[in-house]
Amino acid sequence: MAFEWLNPLLIATALLLAVVGAVRRVNLWRAGQPESVDFVAGLIAMPGRYLHDLHDIVERDKYMSKTHAATGGGFVLSLLMIILVHLLGINNQVLGWALLASLALMFVGAVFVFKRRLNPPSRLSKGPWMRLPKSLLAFSGAFFILTLPVAGVLPEGAGGALLTIVLSIFIAMGLSEMLLGMTWGGPMKHAFAGALHLAFHRRPERFGGGRSTGLKPVALDQRVLGVQKPEDFKWNQLLGFDACVQCGKCEAVCPAFAAGQPLNPKKLIQDMVVGMAGGSDAQYAGSPYPGKDVGQANGGPLLTMTEGLIDPETLWSCTTCRACVEECPMMIEHVDAIVDMRRFLTMEKGSTPNKGAEVLDNLIATDNPNGHAPTSRMNWAADQNLPLLSDVKETDVVFWVSDGAFDMRSQRILRAFVKLLKAANVDFAVLGDEELDSGDVARRLGDDATFQSLAKRNIATLRQYKFKRIVTTDPHAYHCLRNEYADFADGLFDTIEVLHHTTYLNELVQAGKLKLNSYKGGTVTYHDPCYLGRYNGEYEAPRELLRSLGIKIAEMERSGFRSRCCGGGGGAPITDIPGERRIADMRMDDVQTTGAELIAVGCQQCTAMLEGVVEPRPQVKDIAEILVESLVEPLVQERH
Amino acid sequence: MQPDSSTALDDKGLDLTELDLKIVSLISIGKHPTSGRARRAEQDGRAVELGMVLAEATGDKQNLTVIHAGDSQLEAQQAALRSYAGMGLGAVRVLQMRDSADAINPLSEYLYKHAPDIILTGVHAESGESSGMVPYLLGEALGWPVVPRIANIVSIKNGVAEILQALPRGQRRALAVRLPFIASVDNAAPAPRQSAFGPASRALMDQKVSQSDVDGVRNAWSELPARKRPKRLKVVKAKTGAARLKAATAKPQGAGGKVMKEQSAAEQAQAIFDLLLEEGVLR
Ligand code: SF4
Ligand code: SF4
């Protein structure tokens, strides 16, 4: 056959250039900060992580998961065999047939990719991504024909020189997309970086169904606090950004994006890539940050990102709801990146917007965000006769009251919960004025110094007493206590269980400690608070509680792990970045479609946000309040 | 009524690049009203903010020196001083003295020696004596004019500063004051910028040991939290909304007194002198 040297040469060149590109890419990641990773264990675990964790997420979209399995699986198999057959020249008929089969598989997958791209949803990026299905078809199609003689279907040299040349053009096209594109920044980069990201993920606990949601502490004696330049990220965070496939799943669920605030998690990750590799965002072919044009942003590994690459408003729009992280098939950690950059803005630049500075000052001076006298923390319970830990020293359950103590609406929830605790004869006590703000808001606003100070002082207080459990009605405090305090607590939390009040109440109800009448109102829906659901995986207890009242929950389309944020997390109501709509209004629209008359909630912040929506709208009640209304009160309650 | 010009600096982009202007802001340890904890004092923070804006306008941040006379060894005080530094100061100069000592002598000695052009202070401290006397005593010691309760410094030309003084109800009075001078900064001045933890913790606490006398008078006192004074109810007998608004916003009509605008400076001075004699301020 004429030019039979051509194709092996093409393959060899492509492989070589791909390796060169890979080295360059790896060096981009290595510019990041050191982070210790178990390389061997990670690499061994990688295929499993791909097949289970990643695929479980892709599986939510059946069409795409089948398409991806066929295309990706077909490609990996084909590439291995192409090297054997067409580069090393092993002329084995069985191998030839096997290669034909895997190329056919890839081709079929590519046809479906092509179909999806005929009328792509807005969340998908266009540009080079529109070229990808054609490259996939070219690659699999051309190699298929080229392999026919090996399998003995066609005689050697069939088709003549012309066909060979045409085939070679397709092969060159396919190879450059599939191999060069993989390491030189084309769409296929996601496969290369994605595989390594799975292996060297910064939160390996997430694999195998685990959960890792606590933010990582800042070492407060560092040269720069937080992330100023791309190189201030950990190296495996940089690697993670490179893994993005621009599928826009994150964009589709982001409440800030939907509200028209200048945030799009997909664009944010792409901007991180621009920063890491240097250049401008002109190549970006997806949805922009609402209200901002693409093409204005410039960055480089040594440039301050918030000056030219990313508008601080983008970072402050995030509610830290983690919806993006939950949906991302590449398991990218958007919230970590956003808070890392906020840390720089707050702790180095002192530029927390709007009420941010005031709230942080108050937290420093009074241990609560609104500057109330620290000695007035127990005023809400003046009539409750609550035992104080400083008196009793020992108890079963510590009721963590949280800053809801200072807010009249939240106090109704606290009272309801106390009534339930008393009705169930629980041995509990509160910290009273010794309790401080959990540090949640300070941490989400990027002030890790204040968070750490609050956390350490709270831990020192808790250490003085003997108890088994901490129960709180505030999912934000719950998250801090359960997932973030351990970094400073020296093992204290190994023996203490932290529970959300819905979990605990459910336990009491299931154990028969609380007698409840059945609920007599109309339709009820349940809003999953982000910090209870996605951050802590508690979706069931609140629902079981409602069911135990005989309520049939009218679920919203976005519920459970897909719940839409109320807009109240991450300090968003404090930084208050303007958009076109309010997130709480959109959530209320979700509620309205169920026809519910009552929204059951498990968070005082969600309660405040949803009650902030103008009437007429359904009522909003915490589950504790709903339970109290149905409580069968014991007739004689004689206890000493 | 003059327009509120607290944003005038930004509007005009105050440019002092040609000036070799030395500014000093004096800071004290503040006290949070509800928790009583040491903090950045509100007015002193504004004095630093104004000093920073002026220094930035000269093109050299080093033209501002921030000075505290007191004891920076105590942890809470150190944290409060650092929260000023977190506004972006490289250093805070501390005239180290015992907490119980009187700050006036070391301050006036230091200021006499370094001869700045502008000294900014708060109106009065948030703890301790809180007498508001520091700018006056320093003015007396240095022989400089004192401008109380300023809201902003609008421009500095030919050695004369154009200053906006804060009056009640958002009114401003434009003053022209020759350098050097001492000014106390009112709450109406622009709020201090946010204090950031990183620069705060890295700032230099530049300590100078200084001689000072124990403040015997003050040490004999004991401190108690202030009691809220009962407020006198103002009965407004207005019939219409407009009248009520007028009553609520009107300037208090001082009984007696007179406005002297036309007379010569000598006559005006004589009138003030006579009044002070009459009131027994001067003897
Ligand atoms: S960050 Fe994740 S979810 Fe968002 S576009 Fe990239 S891969 Fe998709
Ligand atoms: S955490 Fe929520 S608000 Fe923030 S980027 Fe992700 S989806 Fe958007």
The DSSP line for B18-30 is T----EEEE--EE
pLDDT, tens only, A355-369 = 999 999 999 999 999
Contact in structure between B57 and B10 (CB atoms under 8 Å): no
Averaged pLDDT for residues A65-90: 92
Contact in structure between A594 and A556 (CB atoms under 8 Å): yes
Helix (H) or strand (E) holding A291: none
Assess whether pLDDT exceeds 50 at residue B10.
no
- E-only strand ranges, A138-202: none
Contact in structure between A272 and A241 (CB atoms under 8 Å): yes
Averaged pLDDT for residues A533-554: 96
Alpha-carbon distance B11 to nearest alpha carbon in chain A (angstroms): 21
Looking at residue B1, its pLDDT comes to 35
Averaged pLDDT for residues B263-272: 90
Q: Annotate A610-634 with b (16+ C-beta within 10 A) or e (fewer).
A: bbbbeeebbbbbbbbbbbbebbeee
Averaged pLDDT for residues A598-620: 96
Looking at residue A157, its pLDDT comes to 66
Looking at residue A3, its pLDDT comes to 60
Contact in structure between A282 and A264 (CB atoms under 8 Å): no
Q: Do B88 and A346 touch (CB under 8 A)?
A: no
pLDDT band at A199 (very low <50, low <70, confident <90, very high): very high
B32 vs A: CB within 8 A = yes
Assess whether pLDDT exceeds 70 at residue A196.
yes
pTM of the model: 0.91
A54-63, A140-149, A374-383, B254-263: the lowest-pLDDT one: B254-263
Assess whether pLDDT exceeds 80 at residue B122.
yes
Neighbours of B2 (CB within 10 A): 11
Assess whether pLDDT exceeds 90 at residue A285.
yes
Looking at residue B229, its pLDDT comes to 82
B88 vs A: CB within 8 A = yes
B201 vs A: CB within 8 A = yes
Here the tokens at position B276 are 């002070």
Which is more confidently placed, B102 or A464?
Answer: A464
Contact in structure between A146 and A123 (CB atoms under 8 Å): no
Alpha-carbon distance A351 to nearest alpha carbon in chain B (angstroms): 7
Looking at residue B19, its pLDDT comes to 78
Mean pLDDT computed over every residue of chain A: 94
ipTM of this model? 0.89
CB-CB neighbors (< 8 A) of B198 in chain A: 224-225, 347-348
Assess whether pLDDT exceeds 90 at residue A400.
yes
Alpha-carbon distance B32 to nearest alpha carbon in chain A (angstroms): 7
B25 vs A: CB within 8 A = no
Using alpha carbons only, what angle is made at residue A200 by residues A195 and A204, rounded to the nearest 5 degrees? 110
pLDDT, tens only, B134-168 = 999 999 999 999 999 999 999 999 999 999 999 98
Residue holding tokens 């983008």? Answer: A314
CA B85 to CA A481: how far, in whole Å? 32
Assess whether pLDDT exceeds 80 at residue A353.
yes
The rounded Cα A168 to chain-centroid distance in angstroms is 43
B199 vs A: CB within 8 A = yes
pLDDT, tens only, A478-530 = 999 999 999 999 999 999 999 999 999 999 999 999 999 999 889 999 999 99
Looking at residue B261, its pLDDT comes to 82
**Which residues of chain A approach chain B closer than 8 Å at the C-beta?**
220, 224-225, 346-352, 356-357, 360-361, 364-367, 371-374, 376, 447, 449-450
State whether residue A282 is helix, strand or coil.
Answer: helix
pLDDT band at B6 (very low <50, low <70, confident <90, very high): very low
Assess whether pLDDT exceeds 60 at residue B5.
no
Alpha-carbon distance B251 to nearest alpha carbon in chain A (angstroms): 32
pLDDT, tens only, B163-219 = 999 998 888 999 999 999 999 999 999 999 999 999 999 999 988 887 777 777 777
Domains of chain B and CATH, by start: 9-216 (3.40.50.620), 228-283 (no CATH)
Q: Do A350 and B86 touch (CB under 8 A)?
A: yes
How far is the centre of ligand 2, averaged over its atoms, from the C-alpha of A263 (Å)? 8
Looking at residue A588, its pLDDT comes to 97
pLDDT band at B3 (very low <50, low <70, confident <90, very high): very low
Residue whose C-alpha is closest to residue A198's, from A232, A247, A239, A230: A239
CATH of region A212-349, choose from 3.40.800, 1.20.140, 1.10.3470, 1.10.1060: 1.10.1060
Instruction: Kindly give the number of the ligand 1 atom that is closest to the alpha carbon of A269.
Output: 1
Dihedral sign of CA atoms A199, A205, A209, A215 in order: negative
Percent pLDDT > 90 in chain B is 55
Which is more confidently placed, A605 or B5?
Answer: A605
Q: Do A224 and B195 touch (CB under 8 A)?
A: no
Q: Do B197 and A220 touch (CB under 8 A)?
A: yes
pLDDT band at B9 (very low <50, low <70, confident <90, very high): very low
CA A180 to CA A176: how far, in whole Å? 5
Looking at residue B11, its pLDDT comes to 45
Residue type, A36: S
Which is more confidently placed, A334 or A209?
Answer: A334
Assess whether pLDDT exceeds 60 at residue B7.
no
Is the bond into A616 cis (omega within 30 degrees of 0)? yes
Specify the long-range contacts of residues A620-623, CB closer than 8 Å, at least 24 apart.
Answer: A622/A412, A622/A413, A622/A416, A622/A473, A623/A501, A623/A502, A623/A505, A623/A542, A623/A545, A623/A546
Percent pLDDT > 90 in chain A is 87
Looking at residue A7, its pLDDT comes to 83
Assess whether pLDDT exceeds 80 at residue B12.
no
- Report which bound ligand comes closest to the CA of A317: 2
CB-CB neighbors (< 8 A) of A366 in chain B: 32, 34-35, 37
Percent pLDDT > 70 in chain A is 98
A89-103, A162-176, A313-327, B9-23: the lowest-pLDDT one: B9-23
